Structure 1
């Protein structure tokens, strides 16, 4: 894996991303499904790879595939380190006042996904199909965490002896994205017919250029602002540096925790947890530390959030393409029935939470708020934002603002946060039943709190 091989492999990824974009531009059905170009590019690369067309003749060099297998685990650190850099973090009281009900709803759905997944594993998948018990975490890892988290957890699955988990998680993440959009649009149409929405709306048809994912020339917004003069430092370089510091801080924290675990109980009991936790949730903590320091020492506001978003977006696109390009279809085929069962159970639980629990757990505008939580719980944050935009195009409800504040108390723990990263090592070390009890208590507690506390003012 020489520097030239790495460089050439990155150039191929760039080519695939452009091809993915133009495939989307020329394919109406992909536009109607709101599929991102990176997802299309990843599937195209998978088609060209060794498990499909590559069986007959080599299209993608094997050395490039080796590079791509490493990239998701690196890029996920960039994505999570950038989550809170450039954002002013409000106090917890403000966040809770605006987004408390959605935080509780989000925890109920996410920890409920662990519960249904672990129940499926304990009573069916492990005894009948001999699936590793850590598969009980796959629904939440893939649905709420998405392709990024699923790919970022690959090293963890490898270390615990269940490498198939990464491929199954990526497949489930794809099911989640497609299901989130398709089922979400169906639910919105159902809500309009049943008058569940506060404001009367019609499903807006997008014009041709918007469907293709292109911004009109005269309405284009800047990708970022130059916070520093170019003779001083390239602003993109400075923002990359802030993200790099966040990842380094996260790495330092992780190494410190690993050594602490070894001293406190690891060497004595042989029980290890931290050593299996990936870097990316600690990189997110590092990003929060960086932002906290900048709030104190940077009177010039040198961080431009738009610039951070561009770096984060690039890393996520590279991650998705490389992860899907190296997805093992053989593994999914060998575990097809468990894969389908996990997909079905995850979808049914998430739809149940939206249709039956959201009206009782969210105090007002339950549909507009809940559809965002549904989208995020099926296919990450972007899907939730997409569905809210359709359900409340003019932002006449507080759904979007509450959804944004929700992430401050939600993402650090689930959906790729600390518990998501620790869930697989926890099941590996302590077994599926204790973690089922733990996640069940949190899910049930969130449900009761939502029904009788945050949802008691339901209108």
Structure 2
């Protein structure tokens, strides 16, 4: 499991850097060819919108607006995040279908997408138990308990974000709420670790948690699309759409190449990070459930564990993104360094072998 999570972390750094360089290059070429008065650094936000989250991309954009006067940056970041969800669906679902038909998945019990998946509704007699009650229904409702735990962890993340925003230097302080999902995620990982240590992990039901995640992701996607200001996008519509298409295709090809050469569970891991690195962890989980509904592969757990490795590896990017609008930004050299070093790390740790599928 640790090897898979480390592979995902290296891939995250590589994909993030490639997306950022791709976006920056397209915006620079668009300004050279067609002219226009827009900030070419907008291209860097495709990496945040795709590989992080719409909230993170909007947070960086908001810092650029409030600190450096880059108008429309928050809407551009949010728009990249919204388009990332579409890319996850448009590239991920066909890939999942191909994987099942061609036998690329570890569990080859099915050769095509289930009919109930295509219809979205279970047939008569196909209903299954979706949750396991860990609380006594006469005392505490199971769903209410899990929602309360999630709300508590979110509250811990919120307090940390507030403390960060109040005490960190100008520019970096905006990352407090921009990375709110990260603080909540870390709180969740630590909580599971503590519960496991004290032998109380059984109070959490993974099926219930997944159900809440699946429900809330739909609301999040709707909220992201509703929050976009189209007037800020119209002036850069050509480089914006070009960046989305090219970055999505490059991400798809890059992940597919390395996933084919991953020694074990390459398809499941590749599909999961394709959804994650164009959308969020939730979209990665949703794609993974198509080919691995019972999570027999370790990919689902690795999507959570990978963040332990990602955070120290990518910190230099997170800390410098708020300062992109300044003169002499080191962001481009940093991304190029990741593009060179991450493949070397993948080969060094023997994560690249013979093509498996």
Q: TM-score scaled by structure 1?
A: 0.61
Extract unaligned runs of 5+ from structure 1: 1-94
- Once the two structures are TM-superposed, the CA of residue 226 in structure 1 deviates from its matched residue by 2.5
Give distance in 1, aligned partners of 2:293 and 2:151: 37
- Once the two structures are TM-superposed, the CA of residue 355 in structure 1 deviates from its matched residue by 5.0
Matching residue of 2:345: 449
Give distance in 2, aligned partners of 1:388 and 1:247: 25
For residue 305 of structure 2, the aligned residue among 384, 408, 411 is 408
Matching residue of 1:112: 18
Choose 1 or 2 for highest CA Rg.
Answer: 1
Extract unaligned runs of 5+ from structure 2: none
Matching residue of 2:239: 338
- Once the two structures are TM-superposed, the CA of residue 291 in structure 1 deviates from its matched residue by 2.8
Give distance in 1, aligned partners of 2:96 and 2:147: 39
Say if 2:160 and 2:183, in contact at 8 Å, map to a contact too: yes
- The verdict on how the C-alpha distance between 1:163 and 1:225 changes in structure 2, with shifts beyond 3 A counting, is farther
Q: How does 1:201-280 map to 2 (within 5 A)?
A: 204=112, 206-207=114-115, 209-261=116-168, 266=169, 271-278=170-177, 279-280=180-181
Say if 2:157 and 2:183, in contact at 8 Å, map to a contact too: yes
- Once the two structures are TM-superposed, the CA of residue 439 in structure 1 deviates from its matched residue by 2.6
Deviations 1:76-119 (A, max 9, x none): xxxxxxxxxxxxxxxxxxx3234433432333222321232234
Give distance in 2, aligned partners of 1:226 and 1:201: 29
Matching residue of 1:376: 276
Say if 2:17 and 2:336, in contact at 8 Å, map to a contact too: yes
Number of residue pairs matched by the alignment: 345
Deviations 1:14-53 (A, max 9, x none): xxxxxxxxxxxxxxxxxxxxxxxxxxxxxxxxxxxxxxxx
Say if 1:242 and 1:290, in contact at 8 Å, map to a contact too: no
Matching residue of 1:97: 3
Residue 249 of structure 2 corresponds to residue 353 of structure 1 = no
Matching residue of 1:143: 50
Q: How does 1:191-210 map to 2 (within 5 A)?
A: 197=104, 204=112, 206-207=114-115, 209-210=116-117
For residue 64 of structure 2, the aligned residue among 160, 166, 185 is 160
Say if 2:156 and 2:187, in contact at 8 Å, map to a contact too: yes
Q: TM-score scaled by structure 2?
A: 0.76
Give distance in 2, aligned partners of 1:234 and 1:210: 29
